[in-house]
Structure 1
Amino acid sequence: MFRISQYMRELAKAEKTGCYPQVCERQARGPVVIWNLIRRCNLTCKHCYALSADHDYVGELSLPEVFTVMDDLKGFGVPALILSGGEPLLRPDIFDISARAREMGFYTGLSTNGTLIDRPLAQRIAQAGFDYVGISLDGLKPTHDKFRRLDGAFDRSLAAVRFLGEFGVKVGLRFTMTAMNAHDLPNLLQLMKDEGANKFYFSHLNYAGRGNIHRDKDAHHQSTRAAMNLLFDRAWADAQAGCMDDYVSGNNDADGPFLLHWVRQHLPQWEAAMAERLTRWGGNASGQMVANIDNLGHVHPDTMWWHHDLGCVRERPFSEIWNDTSDPLMAGLKQHPRPVEGRCAGCKYLAICNGNTRVRAQQLTGNPWFEDPGCYLTDEEVGAASTPFEAPASRSSSSRTSSRITRSRSPETDHA
């Protein structure tokens, strides 16, 4: 997750004091865990990475099994649990799980579509003491209802935001941008202000994309750049005004270098300090400080790697699975620098973005270390040229076609 507002507040303080602030961040021993406790969902969204449906799924972790895993996570130093699904509020014991998480000292977030939250349930969520509740909105009413495949979904989710606000719950809006909803972003940002939401999480679509493309002319990348500039400008205005609302982004660690370009343009005196700050941030954390456990107990490098199974917590503790680098993918993800190829290998910002989101390259090429097709910076900006991609001969045309789309919901790493 890329904390846009945090960096903007630091820049605002630097402008005020004449010195970039020293930031001491507590380093957790273990990763943030996004836990898909249930796969069932009352919606069938177009961009769901879990491919959920409104029926029960066999073999999901029982409450005693969940508690056993939580004990291991605590001992491993995991600082935060993001309880997700499917729709986690469909799990009957969700409040037992959240209560245990809070008792154990985990930062506890809830990721929900919001459509089930009426006033009584909002009150119960508030009483449960969740640190944060994220609600997905894919646009204004026409767009959102189309994405969620349910008429009235927008009204119900917006009502949930208001009900939670009544009870003092920290609530944020989550938005996954695609070509079909990018036009709604400015209005959603205004909606955030109008409704008093505390946070806006902007998720890049974790799409497989295209191979060797002209990034300076690609419509998707131009739309992404415009969206990020809008978020940067909004966050900078808020920081200058002393507003503590948060804008964060995820699923594209090119946001770090792109912010550095924004600073170079608007506040060049702080470029060197920001470059050092972003290098300490370190970019993509999949397989390092972000982890996923699915509803059956299988562990993945993050929520977008459901097709890559590292092991099951029913067979081995999470802590053992996470530290096992016999899996080539995990070995590479934990390596520094990562063994990236193509223009990523020659990119001057590799120390900032850490090679970006590897799953896009893997979905497109079968090679997780190929250059990330989702990077929206130009070859000139990164100081390296794109590498033409040729599909491996062993892969059939049908497999190449099926790998071009990675289903993606806004991932629940917006945990603070």
Structure 2
Amino acid sequence: MFRISQYLRELAQAEATGSYPAVRERGARGPVVIWNLIRRCNLTCKHCYALSADHDYAGELSLPEVFTVMDDLKAFGVPALILSGGEPLLRPDLFEIAARARQRGFYTGLSTNGTLIDAPMAARIAQAGFDYVGISLDGLRATHDKFRRLEGAFDRSLAAIGHLGQVGVKVGLRYTMTAMNGHDLPALLALMQEVGAHKFYFSHLNYAGRGNIHRDKDAHHQSTRAAMDLLFDHAWAAARAGSLDDYVSGNNDADGPYLLQWVRQRLPQWEGALRQRLVAWGGNASGQMVANIDNLGHVHPDTMWWHHDLGSVRERPFSQIWNDTSDPMMAGLKQHPRPVQGRCASCQYLAICNGNTRVRAQQLTGNPWFEDPGCYLSDAEVGAASTPFESPAKKGTRRTIEIAHA
């Protein structure tokens, strides 16, 4: 996750004081764990990576197993759990799991589609002490309901935001931009203010179908750049106003270099300081500082790697699985710098983005270390040229990998 607002608040402070703020170093810790506790969902969304449906799935972790895993995660230094699904509110023991997570001292988030949250459910969520609830909106009413394949889904999710706000739960909007909903982004940013949400998570589509060449002319990349400009402008206005609203992005670590370019054009005196901060951030954290456990207990480098199984927490503790670099993929993801190829290998921003999202390269070319086709920076901007490739699958095949949200 790229914390846009964090960096722009630092820049606003630097502008006000004349000195870039020092940042407290954090000690060693384990990864943030996104935990898909259940695969069942009351919706069948077009962009679901879990391919969820409204029925039970056999073999999911029991409550005692969840508690055992949670104890290992705590001992391993995991700071945060994001409880997800499917739709996590369909898991009958969710609030027992949440209570245990809070008791063990985890920062605990809930990722939900929001359609099941009425006033009583909002009160239960508040009582459970969730630090944050993310509710997914794919656009305004017509767009969202089409994506969610349920008429009225938008109104129910919007009502959930209001119910949560009334009981003091911090809530944010989650949005994945595609060619079919990009036109709704400005309105959603305005809606965030209207409904009192305090966070906007912009997820890039894990797109792997175009973009190997002519990135500066690719329509998808141009719309991505325009969207990031809009997010940066909103976050900068909020930072200068002293607002605590957060704007963050995910699934495309080119956002870091693109913000550096944005600052170079507007606040060039702080470019060097920001570059140091972005290098310290380190870019893509799959297999490093973000992890995924699916509903059956299988561990993955992140939520987009469900096709790559690192092992089961029923057979080995998560802590052992995560530190095991006998798996070539994990060894490469943990390597610094990563063994990336193509233009990523000679990119001037490699130390910032860490080679971006490896799953896109793997799905398009069969080679996880090839250049990321989702990078929206031009060859001139990164100081490297794109490398032609031929997919080991069918030549000319274009596949799209989509990020899921609850």
Amino acid at match of 2:130: F
**Equivalent residue number for residue 217 of structure 1:** 217
Counterpart amino acid of residue 402 in structure 2: R
Answer yes or no: is the 8 Å Cα contact 2:135–2:157 preserved in 1.
yes
- Relative distance call for 1:340 and 1:174 in structure 2 (3 A) is same
Structure 2 Cα separation of the partners of residues 235 and 25 of structure 1:
24
Report Cα offsets for 1:81-103 as digits up to 9, x if no partner: 00000000000000000000000
**1:340 partner SS:** coil
Q: Which sections of structure 1, spanning at least 5 residues, go unmatched?
A: 412-416
Measure the CA separation in 1 of the matches of 2:400 and 2:55: 25
Structure 1 match to 2:17:
17
Give the aligned partner of residue 108 of structure 2: 108
Instruction: State whether residues 343 and 384 of structure 2, in contact with CA within 8 Å, keep that contact through their aligned partners in structure 1.
Output: yes
Contact 2:282–2:354 (CA under 8 A) maintained in structure 1: yes
Amino acid aligned to 1:145: D
Contact 1:28 1:78 in 2 (8 A): no
Q: Unaligned stretches of 5+ in structure 2?
A: none
Q: Structure 1 CA distance, aligned partners of 2:86 and 2:218?
A: 33
Counterpart pick for 2:404 among 401, 406, 409: 409
In structure 1, the partner of 2:368 is 368
Deviation at 1:410, TM superposition (A): 4.1
Aligned residue for 1:414? none
Structure 2 CA distance for aligned equivalents of residues 238 and 210 of structure 1: 34
How far residue 209 of structure 1 moved from its aligned partner, in angstroms, is 2.3
Q: Distance in 1 between matches of 2:254 and 2:44?
A: 30
Q: How far 1:213 moved relative to its partner?
A: 2.1
* Correspondences of 1:66-85 after superposition (within 5 Å): 66-85=66-85
Cα offset, 1:366, TM superposition: 0.8
Aligned to 1:310: 310
How do 1:7-86 and structure 2 match up within 5 A?
7-86=7-86
User: Does the CA-based 8 Å contact 1:203-1:410 persist in structure 2?
Assistant: no
Q: Distance between the aligned counterparts of 1:142 and 1:396, measured in 2?
A: 36
Q: Percent identity of the aligned residues?
A: 83
Give 1:187-202 correspondences, 5 Å limit. 187-202=187-202
Instruction: Report if the CA contact (8 A) 2:211-2:218 is conserved.
Output: no
Contact residue 111 and residue 405 of structure 2 kept, 8 A: no
SS of aligned partner of 1:231: helix
User: Hey, what does 2:282 align to over in structure 1?
Assistant: 282
* C-alpha displacement of 1:408: 1.8
User: Hey, what's the Cα distance between the residues in 1 that align with 2:335 and 2:33?
Assistant: 20
Query: How big is the shift at 1:405?
Result: 1.9
Q: In the alignment, is the contact (CA less than 8 A) between 1:207 and 1:406 conserved in 2?
A: yes
Structure 2 CA distance for aligned equivalents of residues 285 and 192 of structure 1: 28
CA distance in 1, matches of 2:70, 2:331: 25
Structure 2: how far apart are the matches of 1:410 and 1:352? 26
Q: Deviations over 1:106-155 (max 9, x none)?
A: 00000000000000000000000000000000000000000000000000
Deviation of 1:210 (Å): 2.4
Structure 1 residue 407 displacement after superposition? 3.0
8 Å CA contact 1:81–1:108 kept in 2: the answer is yes
Deviation of 1:391 after TM superposition, in Å, equals: 1.9
Report the more deviating stretch, 267-276 or 210-219.
210-219
Moved more, 255-264 or 204-213: 204-213
> Structure 1 pair 366/223, CA: closer, same or farther in 2 (3 Å)?
same
Q: What does 1:244-393 correspond to in 2, within 5 Å?
A: 244-392=244-392
> CA-to-partner distance for each residue in 1:19-61, whole Å, 9 max, x for gaps?
1000114244200000000000000000011110000000000
What residue is the counterpart of 2:135 in the other structure? 135
Q: Partners in 1 of 2:342 and 2:275 — Cα distance?
A: 23
After superposition, give the CA deviation of every residue in 1:183-207 in whole Å (9 maximum; x if it has no partner).
Answer: 0000000000011101000000012
TM-score, normalisation: structure 1 = 0.96
Give the partner amino acid of 1:183. H
Contact (CA 8 Å) 1:211, 1:389: kept in 2 or not? no
Q: Give the structure 1 partner of residue 238 of structure 2.
A: 238
The one-letter code sitting in structure 2 at the alignment partner of 1:29 is R
Tell me the amino acid that sits aligned with residue 153 of structure 1. Answer: A
How big is the alpha-carbon RMSD for the aligned residues of Structure 1 and Structure 2? 1.1
